[in-house]
């Protein structure tokens, strides 16, 4: 019973952390777009759309925070951190960040008995509770 409760509590923390991180990325993406890209007149197909800047900001956000701090704003708020099993943190962070782009990746949490997602498995990382 404790294992299931622990998995459920980490799942809830991960979802809340993800929602916080998504909100931060959305705000940063909009600010970046408004500040740097909105008035550019070349290649209107790409730069007239905030989605590419949003994708860039999200990837940069996760790469920098998870690579340097081993957490994100959302994870920090809910009391989670990333544990790297490899010595090469840069490679693990790159794999972790890019593998989030795999379609249906979020449902992979439910396919693993320990609640690890594909981006956890592919990057040899795990998300742990911070002991307070």
User: Domain span at residue 74?
Assistant: 2-129
42-51, 70-79, 84-93, range with the lowest pLDDT: 42-51
* Separation between Cα atoms, residue 25 and residue 95, nearest integer Å: 19
Which residues, in sequence order, are CB contacts of 70 under 8 Å at separation 6+? Answer: 81, 82, 83, 84
* Separation between Cα atoms, residue 23 and residue 45, nearest integer Å: 25
Q: Tell me the pLDDT tens digit for each residue of 83-130.
A: 999 999 999 999 999 998 888 877 887 777 777 888 899 999 999 888
5-9, 25-29, 46-50, 84-88, range with the lowest pLDDT: 46-50
Cβ-in-10-Å burial (0-12, 13-18, 19+) of 33 comes to buried
Instruction: Please count the structural domains in the chain.
Output: 1
């Amino acid at each position: 019973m404790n294992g299931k409760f622990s998995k459920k509590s980490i799942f809830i923390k991960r979802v809340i952390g993800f929602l916080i991180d998504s909100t931060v990325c959305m705000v940063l993406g909009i600010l970046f777009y408004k500040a740097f890209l909105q008035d550019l007149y070349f290649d209107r197909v790409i730069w007239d759309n905030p989605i590419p800047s949003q994708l860039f900001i999200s990837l940069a956000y996760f790469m920098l925070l998870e690579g340097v701090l081993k957490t994100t704003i959302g994870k920090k708020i809910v009391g989670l951190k990333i544990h790297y099993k490899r010595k090469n943190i840069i490679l693990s962070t790159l794999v972790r960040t890019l593998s989030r782009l795999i379609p249906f990746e979020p449902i992979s949490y439910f396919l693993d008995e320990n609640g690890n997602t594909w981006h956890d498995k592919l990057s040899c990382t795990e998300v742990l509770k911070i002991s307070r």
